[in-house]
Structure formats: structure tokens, C-alpha cells
Chain A
């Protein structure tokens, strides 16, 4: 028998405060700014400060706000569909992010697996090494890749010295450099959740598989991989989501034909000073990321409920 409602723990004021904190945080630092951007995306560009119209004029009271609402239009969103730059940027961003996520996964899985299987005494050190790059500025680390990847950079010098190539490879200012940059920068975000899920894996499951006639490489596919899927998904999201909107890496390492929405946004915002259009770009970017994730999580939850 379930214990009725009267057994529900009563929360103290402190308890409620604790629960309210993350919500307040999200309200102030995510929801409020988002609504500002959302509002600006319905405005039109103007030579003014701020550079858009209408602005809410609270001196007119409610009527002023009503006035402002009446001038809102979907023009910016329509504009996004008319110029193929935008959808090409979105598509290219998603593609670059997806490919980078896949490469990060291929590089990160063995790293996380090796860490999880290493002697217990080594693990804190290995974790530290994964986190260590965060102690240096992200920007500086990306800059450093220019020194490595440029035509007379370290990589080309090394390859020329080994005799593998007889003229420098052109990597910098291509999409390849962007892939390298993203994989390098976001690797820890994939390794950490993956390591957490692999480390939890009970070794006796692998022993049981082996005992039942399953060689180690097959046990990896049948046991380890399926049980690490939650870590793979979490890690992939942590790479894919920021990579789609990435700006610094394509700007520093990519070339003029590297099309990413982050760069497009930057140009709209700072070069063209078109806040309304760049706001619309940002809103659509959010939709592109949020809608599939919500759908995916819903489906996951349904699958979990089906099992229970």
C-alpha cells in the first residue's frame, strides 16, 4: 500500500529556497535575456541607441507598450528564409558540429575507457590531466593551434623533417583546422561523462560474459558499449550543442569559406549592427538545438517508462 499524502515530507522555508535557487538562476541569466533577444527579433533596425525600433517607452505607460507591440513584425524571420546565407550557415554549422562530435567520440572513447580501466591509484591523476587544459585561457589555446597548423608551423616542420611530405600541407584556414580545434577544445566535455559511466561498470559483468564463452572484443560490443550509452549521449550533447554555435574556433582557425552560424551572427551584430536580424538568427539557432533534444528526451523517457 502506498503511504498516503499525509506522509509527504513537509519542506521548510530553507528547503524551498534551495529548490528555488536553480530556477531563479535560470530565470535571471537565461530566460530574461532570452526574452530580450526574442523581443528584439521582432523589431526593425534603426540608426539609434539601441540600434532598433521600437523600444519600450515606460513614460507613456501601458499605452506605450501596446504601441510597441503593434509595430512588431516577422520581417526578420522572413528575411532569414530569403537570403540563402542563413540556412546554409545553419546547415554547415550542424554538419561541422556533427562531424566534430563523431570524431571527438572516436578519440574520447578510448581515452575514457583507458582511464576507467587504469589502476585505481592513477585515476585522480589522469582526471587531473584531462582537466588541466582548462587552467589556460580557451582563447590562448586556440591561438596556439595557429602556431601548430600554419604552413611553416610545428606540424608541417615535423612532417617535412620526417620526409613524409615534400611540401607543407595547407591546414590552417580550412574546415579541417576547425574540426581539429573543436575536437581538441571539447574533448574533456566528452571524456568526463563517459569516464563516469564506464567507471561505474561492474567488472564482474565482463567476467560473466567471458565465463559464458564471449571473447573480450565481443564482450565490449555486447556489454561495455551498450551500458555506456548514457555517457556517450551526455558527452555528445556537451560537444554538439556548443559546437553548433561556436564562433572563436571557426574565426581563428577557419578560412573565408568556413560557414558557421556563430560567425554569421557576429557579422550581423557587430559589422552590420543589425540587432533585430541577429536576434532572429539566435532564436532560430536555439530552436534548432532545443527542439530535437526535447523530442529525444521525451522518447527516452517513454522508453524508460515502457520498461518499468
Chain B
């Protein structure tokens, strides 16, 4: 018997690298002010068809305002928003080809699940038979068939979330807007739903725009992430790029865990840059070139999993970048352990180690003298 395909595979997809590709959604120098407060500050952004795009940032960074302007609930103070080449200015929300899944779900409490899902289709004047067919399809897709006749207050949080999703997908919008869609779910359910969202997006071939403050969520689902702060996009790139080559201290710190080491540029050469840590305890040899001049203060951002930790007598002791340290604290998380090690008086470096064996006794314990080592390409030099 032939093996059943398990579903479409997520293929390499990068229209943003293609200069000929036409953007599907375009923000052109968009500014939004609420009184004195600037929520979105002269921001330009291109999103491509069938992309899963994430706006990531803390509360008040302007990400939700961006989404609400695209949906039509807010009007930009300045600038233009284009969807599929059409300027959206003056188009009311009910005439836009976007649908939104609200953070609060905003399910109609006086209608049952079916009626909630059918609501948008009825507005379009779709024939009854076709509505019933589409509703049945959405119920199947979101595994809500047994709950079709229930009212929202009779559903669990996870089920409500699925109704909200089904309702926003039912009209097959050109763009689906997801406003913190999984915020109210517990961790397990959230992870499951993230993968379901990705599969749905592949199957339905739609453009998804998600707004979230959860970096893990953004990294899991999105093709590209825009990290926002104070109404501006700080960095926009695929998840791996954001994680491995953050362009600023803000992004490095916001996404994942990071060691930010203050340092001075000691030596510049075509082979790379050598930095002297501000604490004076060690040098960092990197392959990266930097615009900063010798003597300038910079930061070296290095992810904890890039640092190896070992006792002084192991081969790692011969690495290019190494520093002696003392284990200060250990956090055991099950899959990994985080070691906080003191380097000299001022500096603490974090290193994570995957627990690949079932450790009964730890090879490295509190107060142990260890050597921390890393490769020349382990981190990035940041000037801002």
C-alpha cells in the first residue's frame, strides 16, 4: 500500500528577496497619532501573497494599531495602505477583503456556533445551500462539528478560539488578520494550534498577518517577523535571521535569551575584529567586521547555547575564545540546563547545555571552576 502523504510540506519561500515580486499588502510611510501619542511612526512595510507575517513587539509598540488600520478600524494620520494594488483609504471595514480574528474572539453571544460562522457569508448574500456547505466545511476543518448548535457561553476557551478562527476564515478573505489569537490558551493547546494555523495557511493559500507579543509564537508560525518598538520596525527578517543576527541590542534582548557583553574594539583586520570585554577579563575574537573604530564601545551578543562549558582539563580548553569562570547558579529545566557563571567580579555569562543523557549526578556543580569557550562566529557585534 502506498504511503499516504501527511500533508503539504512547508517549502522554502522568500518572495521578499525577489525584486520583481509585487507586494500584496503595502504600508507606505504610514503614521498614526492619537492626540500627542504617536502609535505608528512613518512606517513602510511590504507583505507578499501567501506569506505568514508576524508583527512582534511589547504592548504599546503599535503592532495592533497597524493591524487595525489594515482592517479599517483606524484611519492612518498620514501615509497610504495598499492591498493588492488598491488604495484602502476611505474603504470602510465592511467592504475590505480582510477578516480578523479578534483577541477577545468577539463571538456573537446570541448566535450559536453555526450562525456565528455563517454571519459573514450571509452579509455577502451567498445562496443558502452554499452557506450551509461552507459552514459544514469550516466546522470540519476546525473540528467543531459536535458543537454546531451550541452558544458561545457553552464552549471552552479552546473551542471558542476555534469558532473565532472558523468565522474569520469562512469568507475566504484575501488576508486573515490574527490579533494575539492564542493569548488566552494554555501552553499545550497554544503549541498545537500554532501548527494547525500553519497547516491551514498552507491549505487555504491565504496571506496571514499575526500580531503577537510572544516571540516563540512568532518564530514558530511566521515566514517573516517584524520586531516593533515605539511605532517603528526595528528589524524585519525570517525567524532564524532575527535570532542569529539581531541588528540591535533591543532585538537581541527581545528575542530569546542572550549574553550582551559590553566591549571595546581592540583590533580590526580583514579576517575580523578582536574585542576587549569592558570587564577586562577576556578578549573576543570574531570573524565579523564592524563599522565601529578601534577604541569604540560596542556590544557582543551571544546566545547562551553557543557557549560551551567544561572543566579546565577538557579539549575545549584550547578554543580560540575562552575564559575561566566559576559556576554561580544552575537552572535545571528538564530539556536543558542553564549555567550562570561568574567571570571576574562584574561579568556573568549564561550558557545552556542540552541534557542529552539522563543525569543523576551533574558533571558540573555549584562553585566549580570551569572554562567557557565559543567559536569565532558565535555571536554578533552590535553598535546600537
Contact = CB atoms under 8 A, between A and B. Distances in A.
A204 B102 contact: yes
Interface in A223-250: 223, 226-227
A308 B155 CA distance: 11
5 contacts: A207-B73, A209-B108, A212-B119, A213-B123, A216-B94
A204 B167 CA distance: 14
A299 interface: no
Nearest to B119: A212
B73 A214 contact: no
Given A202-B104, A204-B102, A204-B104, A211 B94 contact: yes
Contacts of A212: 94, 99, 119-120, 123, 167-168, 171
B109 interface: yes
Nearest to A227: B110
A109 to B, nearest CB: 18
B137 to A, nearest CB: 17
Residue in A205, A213, A216, A226 with the greatest tally of chain B CB atoms within 10 Å: A213
Residue in A202, A204, A212, A307 with the greatest tally of chain B CB atoms within 10 Å: A212
A215 interface: yes
Contacts of B95: 213
Contact of B94 (A205, A213, A307, A308): A213
Nearest to B98: A211
Contacts of B107: 208
Interface in A167-219: 202, 204-205, 207-216, 218
Contacts of A226: 110
B102 A214 contact: no
Interface of A: 202, 204-205, 207-216, 218, 222-223, 226-227, 307-308
Contact of B102 (A207, A218, A307): A207
Contact of A207 (B96, B106, B124, B154): B106
A34 to B, nearest CB: 38
Interface string B96-125: 101110101011111000000001100110
A157 B15 CA distance: 76
A21 to B, nearest CB: 32
Residue in A208, A218, A308 with the greatest tally of chain B CB atoms within 10 Å: A208
B102 A208 contact: yes
Contacts of A215: 92, 94
A227 B106 CA distance: 13
Interface of B: 71-73, 92-96, 98-100, 102, 104, 106-110, 119-120, 123-124, 151, 154, 167-168, 171
Those 4 A-B pairs whose CB atoms lie nearest each other, nearest first:
A212-B120, A213-B123, A208-B106, A204-B106
A227 B151 CA distance: 14
A208 B73 CA distance: 10
Contacts of A218: 123
Contacts of B124: 213
Contacts of A211: 71-72, 93-94, 96, 98-100, 168
A137 B117 CA distance: 53
Contacts of A213: 94-95, 120, 123-124, 171
A215 B125 CA distance: 13
A171 B109 CA distance: 45
A211 to B, nearest CB: 5
Nearest to A212: B120
Contact of A214 (B110, B119, B167): B119
Contacts of A223: 108
A227 B110 CA distance: 7
Contact of A210 (B92, B109, B171): B92
Contacts of B96: 211
A63 B124 CA distance: 79
B194 to A, nearest CB: 23
Contact of B106 (A205, A214, A222, A307): A205
A278 to B, nearest CB: 45
Contacts of A307: 151, 154
A215 B71 CA distance: 14
Given A211-B72, A212-B94, 14 more contacts: A207-B73, A207-B100, A207-B102, A208-B106, A208-B167, A210-B72, A211-B94, A211-B98, A212-B123, A212-B171, A214-B123, A223-B108, A227-B110, A308-B154
B94 A210 contact: yes
Given A212-B171, A307-B151, A207 B93 contact: yes
B94 A208 contact: no
A230 to B, nearest CB: 11
Contacts of A208: 100, 102, 106-108, 167
Nearest to B93: A210
A126 B124 CA distance: 39
A227 B100 contact: no
Contacts of B106: 202, 204-205, 207-208
A214 B123 CA distance: 6
A208 to B, nearest CB: 4
A195 B284 CA distance: 67
Nearest to A214: B123
Residue in B71, B104, B119, B167 with the greatest tally of chain A CB atoms within 10 Å: B119
A213 B71 CA distance: 11
Residue in B96, B98, B123 with the greatest tally of chain A CB atoms within 10 Å: B123
A207 B108 CA distance: 11
B95 to A, nearest CB: 8
B224 to A, nearest CB: 24
Nearest to B151: A307
A64 B99 CA distance: 80
A307 B71 CA distance: 34
A214 to B, nearest CB: 5
B105 to A, nearest CB: 9
Contacts of B72: 210-211
A226 to B, nearest CB: 5
Contacts of A222: 119
A120 to B, nearest CB: 15
B119 A209 contact: yes
A223 B106 CA distance: 11
A275 to B, nearest CB: 49
Residue in B106, B167, B171 with the greatest tally of chain A CB atoms within 10 Å: B106
Nearest to A307: B151
A260 to B, nearest CB: 37
